[in-house]
Chains A and B, each alone.
Chain A
Amino acid sequence: MNVVFAVKQYISKMIEDSGPGMKVLLMDKETTGIVSMVYTQSEILQKEVYLFERIDSQNREIMKHLKAICFLRPTKENVDYMIQELRRPKYSIYFIYFSNVISKSDVKSLAEADEQEVVAEVQEFYGDYIAVNPHLFSLNILGCCQGRNWDPAQLSRTTQGLTALLLSLKKCPMIRYQLSSEAAKRLAECVKQVITKEYELFEFRRTEVPPLLLILDRCDDAITPLLNQWTYQAMVHELLGINNNRIDLSRVPGISKDLREVVLSAENDEFYANNMYLNFAEIGSNIKNLMEDFQKKKPKEQQKLESIADMKNVKRLLQNPKVTEFDAARLVMLYALHYERHSSNSLPGLMMDLRNKGVSEKYRKLVSAVVEYGGKRVRGSDLFSPKDAVAITKQFLKGLKGVENVYTQHQPFLHETLDHLIKGKLKESLYPYLGPSTLRDRPQDIIVFVIGGATYEEALTVYNLNRTTPGVRIVLGGTTVHNTKSFLEEVLASGLHSRSKESSQATSRSASRR
């Protein structure tokens, strides 16, 4: 179930199969990212892979003393590039690996291009996703949905990524999905379709309890990505942004050249490995020297989180000139999500405050878009439903005051979902099985996929669940891994804000009337 190893094994096998000699690794844009997540340069150098080229790069030189390992996604362009490459081969011999299922006709046209008989291998190796941590993967898709429905291209990419994951882990799962999300259902069906079509591929050793694929939608929990996440990994992502385990620091003024781009990899960085899931406050002293700028931000955020509980504070905070535009908008979004249907909802007032504060139109629009995206109307769960408002309040207050560590107050909704799932209590009415058969025992191997992106905080939740629950292994995946900013971009990309403006105002009006 270790996704990093799963991909790494594929790459290692490719390199091994090509035998001794100098090698070049020929990749496309996406596979470059996939490979670089699991292999370091020095590691791959030891295996005689000395050059890394993009298949679409035009000025590659003829180097017949090199063997070429091609690791490509099976896209139309890549097949075309490969055909051109084979017509005029630049390297002595080609080992071709596609990261997903390739059509028979593509194989045929490749074969016909290989007049010089330079191809020694054509295989499908299903490393078609970005392995972030052993239990976390991403597809690096931002903006997967149009409105409530899939962008067709992204649906097919997500289906490919998810089926590749299953194949690389050798799992043929039962599928459950979030009923309230049309996208989740669509994806579940698409995955099922692939499994049915490629049934030969999915014939694995049967386990006693079949693995389970749970497909969720981000709109079920729009709160988690809006909150700051207080683990090292999540903090770095929130404040600096992690892309393929890489942090771009080039915007930081006065940064030294060596630090322009920093790689954070648990495999190579002990500090990171030990601390990535530690709560930020706990390791704060450890990294005092390293991450001063993080700490500068701390007081403000702390203040914000502590006081979100009641309206007055929200209002006061909004007037605080130190709160940035972005954070102010975030605050109101959180408020709006929590008290969407609350009788004393004063969202319009807050929106007014935002305007007075000079928060730009873009952010103000986003508030309603977020409510539209993840508000009660679309949430499948009953967690925040008015009937157990007491429970919410309790949870919320406990989250703020009851926990010793002010940074750990929030428990992502995913935790409860998975907890129920593990205990066999997840309601079938909300998360139905796809197809007639259901799981009789408690699930053991679980793959959770979040349409619209997971977060590092959820990764932490899954990590902790893995460690605390005997016999259960959970892998989390998402169309991407979000921080607040990227989540808002996701909301923007879904295009909900444009048409939701009026409707959300109507909502808030009706809410305040009640």
Chain B
Amino acid sequence: MASLDDPGEVREGFLCPLCLKDLQSFYQLHSHYEEEHSGEDRDVKGQIKSLVQKAKKAKDKLLKREGDDRAESGTQGYESFSYGGVDPYMWEPQELGAVRSHLSEFKKHRAARIDHYVVEVNKLIIRLEKLTAFDRTNTESAKIRAIEKSVVPWVNDQDVPFCPDCGNKFSIRNRRHHCRLCGSIMCKKCMELISLPLANKLTSASKESLSTHTSPSQSPNSVHGSRRGSISSMSSVSSVLDEKDDDRIRCCTHCKDTLLKREQQIDEKEHTPDIVKLYEKLRLCMEKVDQKAPEYIKMAASLNAGETTYSLEHASDLRVEVQKVYELIDALSKKILTLGLNQDPPPHPSNLRLQRMIRYSATLFVQEKLLGLMSLPTKEQFEELKKKRKEEMERKRAMERQAALESQRRLEERHSGLASQAANGEVASLRRGPAPLRKAEGWLPLSGGQGQSEDSDPLLQQIHNITSFIKQAKAAGRKDEVRTLQENLRQLQDEYDQQQTEKAIELSRRQAEEEDLQREQLQMLRERELEREREQFRVASLHTRTRSLDFREIGPFQLEPSREPRTHLAYALDLGSSSIQSSIAPKTPTPSSAQEPIRVWSGPSALGQELLTQSSMSQQNEGPSLNPFDEEDLSSPMEEGTASPPAAGASFGPSAHISKEYNPFEEEDDKEEAMAGNPFIHPDSPAPNPFNEEAEHPQQRHSSPLVPGNPFEEPTCTNPFEMDSDSGPEAEEPIEEELLLQQIDNIKAYIFDAKQCGRLDEVEVLTENLRELKHTLAKQKGGTD
């Protein structure tokens, strides 16, 4: 394969659809894709939406680029790539910049401080434990005091003339109080109390933090417990003024503060708010979706392609399962949204904001993931699909066989020619070389290479063969033969590149189709979502779109209007391709489910309709013009009337064109033709290379759209095979009369011109077309009347 990558040769067009990197060959692109992006499917955060957008962007860029290259890149257009530099938007991914961690230093400093802090807290709790270890109610206050004094030495009264907290002087009236936990002195005002329940909570928690705590109900701050008389202690002088503390413990603010912090920690450890529980469930559901959805998508894709790897029942079961999870996500997030709304002190605004944001992100999640869930074919459709696939496979195989045979024959001819040129003696001497020769006719492909490429493309096989021939010839030192062979190789490679390009484009077309399916899903989802939202507004007119800080907002519904045109385009595109399919197998009803919604769609359809009909017409009119732009050009008076934005037209044009490009017939026809002739020398004009053709469109577009000159050049280079390939049943969509008439006029003009130029065969085809159009028109009139 490496032999393909002639380093000096730049092959354009292999842009990675994900990161837009220009990879110079299909292989590099492929390996790049596998290295860089294979993980992204599984990525929890890999948002389908953004992928789709990126892919679309990449596609657009690819297409546009073709246009600009052709469009005489004299202007400094945005998309001209031919200069050799790199667009900053396509610079290679930036690695993470420099970082520096201060964590170890931070921890070092913190550890020193924490030790101190923890010791302090523990000390307080141990003392608290001692203070509450005895039965306070039934102990005399003098005794209590004695015990209290034994726990911690009290500071001497004389040492503290003023309250250290408030600075008031102590006197007979303003008496000193001691903190039972640290022994310090403060005035009555500054004194704090710790209730027994709180003390219990703190001490028991420290004993066994995991034990279930049964009495947290009492608020720790309510220190005003019941106050039972302590008349017995009247004898004590101090207790005249000093009430007995049988259910609480005096302490200073500092100690109380520390203990309260401790309490908070305990509470947090035990208490999980509802929102956390719900949120955890929500995340679990999301994870489940991330697991199951790719599996389902794989199944659905395979089933929709008519493969029989998976069973239809299994897939639909899985679909139901995934959908259920989605429902659950929806329900959970809704519940989170309405949490605590009816509580009396309503939740803090930031809590509400959090709830709204979670709901919003869940909605986004559902939207983005659910639209990846393509629909399954019905049983009947599946049968059809299977049949079709089988047919296709057979045909393909036949083609391949033929191609291989053909090229083999050619090659042999060539080599026999070569061999006859070569002198016999030399050949004989070569036999002793490392590679065995067959019958002295020519070079043999190296066995290793052959085995490796057995089931790959026949062209590739040829390339391998020739490469090994060259080696052998080189070894034999026959320069002219090497030259001829190299020429052969080059042609083969060109041919192969061509093929790969086509394949790559085919790939992107498929992507576009997938997108359509996803869009359809999204639409459904949105409708449902809208309904739900309305409901919610009724329930708790709260679910306004959330705004926070300066973050840019992309509201879920804001997206819609901007997308609509694209969706139309996509539908139009899909119609195009599906009608191609129907023309391939006329008896098979088109299975594509995307056809239905076109009518269901009730958006501002002026533009959409028009594009739709145009695309179907371009199908109809395939004979005279391969180029969808011609249609547009010719029907432009009408287009101008409706003032469709040129941008939309532009993005429509190439995509529709692409879908046509992929008409398997065209491709195969080209191939056939190529095979019929010399497979190595590429037929020059009928342009199987999509890039060549596209190049002309923008030019046409840029020049006044009304210029009728060029459309007539088109038929001259029309592939005859293409002409025959359609003219079968046309798109079933009813076509607007006006458009039909327009079309008829156009074709008349074509015919006239063709007659003038004396291209009779064209005239014939065009007349045929005209007849058909008239027929359709008549039928439609009959239908409407």
Contact = CB atoms under 8 A, between A and B. Distances in A.
Nearest to B566: A270
Contact of B94 (A2, A63, A108): A2
A201 B78 contact: no
Interface in A417-469: 463-469
B548 A52 contact: yes
A470 B85 contact: yes
Contacts of B45: 46-47
Interface stretch (B95-103, B213-221, B690-698, B710-718): B95-103
Interface string A30-51: 0011001001111011111011
A125 B97 CA distance: 8
Interface residues of B, number: 72
B99 A125 contact: yes
Contacts of A45: 357, 360-361, 364
A405 to B, nearest CB: 8
B265 interface: yes
B216 to A, nearest CB: 16
B117 interface: yes
A481 to B, nearest CB: 16
Interface in B57-101: 57, 60, 64, 75-79, 81, 83-89, 91, 93-101
B268 interface: yes
Contacts of A42: 361, 364, 553-554
Given A45-B357, A107-B106, A266-B89, A33 B550 contact: yes
B89 A51 contact: no
A481 B78 CA distance: 22
A116 B264 CA distance: 11
Interface string B268-280: 1000110110010
A122 B57 contact: no
Interface string B566-581: 0000000000000000
B77 A278 contact: yes
Contacts of A125: 97, 99
Nearest to A86: B110
A6 B93 CA distance: 9
A356 interface: no
B553 A9 contact: no
Interface stretch (B347-355, B415-423, B584-592, B668-676): B347-355
Contacts of A246: 550, 552
Interface stretch (A148-156, A282-290, A364-372): A282-290
Given A50-B358, A117-B110, A470-B84, A169 B350 contact: no
A125 B552 CA distance: 23
Q: Counting chain A CB atoms within 10 Å of each CB, which of B93, B548, B552 scores highest? A: B552
Interface in A109-168: 110-112, 114-117, 119, 121-127, 133-135, 167-168
B102 A102 contact: yes
Interface in B341-382: 348-351, 353-354, 357-358, 360-361, 364-365
Given A50-B361, A112-B109, A117-B114, A32 B101 contact: no
A170 B113 contact: no
B645 interface: yes
Given A61-B351, A111-B110, A124 B100 contact: yes
A13 B91 contact: no
B261 interface: yes
B283 interface: yes
Given A63-B351, A258-B558, A289-B645, A265 B98 contact: no
A255 to B, nearest CB: 16
Contacts of A266: 89
A488 to B, nearest CB: 26
Interface residues of A, number: 95
A9 B84 contact: no
Contacts of B350: 51, 53, 60-61, 63
Give the most central of A41, A51, A244: most B CB within 10 Å.
A41
A114 B276 CA distance: 25
B100 A265 contact: no
A10 interface: yes
A52 B551 contact: yes
B88 A133 contact: yes
B553 A112 contact: no
A41 B553 contact: yes
Contacts of B106: 107, 110-111, 114, 119, 122
Given A40-B552, A168-B98, A467-B87, A46 B57 contact: no
Nearest to A467: B85
A101 B87 CA distance: 32
A168 B88 contact: no
B107 interface: yes
A10 B102 contact: no
B91 A123 contact: no
A277 interface: yes
B354 A51 contact: yes
Interface string B103-136: 1011111100110010000000000000000000
A273 B57 contact: yes
Nearest to A50: B357
A59 to B, nearest CB: 8
Contacts of B100: 101, 123-124, 201
A3 to B, nearest CB: 8
A152 to B, nearest CB: 26
A467 B364 contact: no
Given A42-B554, A201-B98, A286 B646 contact: yes
Q: Which of A6, A45, A101, A408 has the most CB of B within 10 A?
A: A45
Contacts of B268: 64, 92
A356 to B, nearest CB: 41
B647 interface: yes
A52 B79 CA distance: 38
A1 B94 CA distance: 7
A57 B655 CA distance: 51
Q: Which 5 A-B pairs have the closest CB atoms?
A: A168-B97, A111-B109, A41-B551, A5-B94, A468-B83
13 contacts: A5-B94, A41-B551, A47-B45, A50-B358, A107-B102, A168-B97, A274-B64, A286-B646, A408-B76, A463-B87, A467-B88, A468-B84, A470-B84
Given A20-B283, A36-B549, A405-B75, 19 more contacts: A2-B94, A32-B549, A41-B548, A41-B552, A42-B554, A45-B361, A52-B548, A107-B105, A111-B113, A121-B103, A122-B106, A126-B97, A126-B98, A126-B99, A135-B88, A268-B554, A270-B60, A273-B89, A463-B87
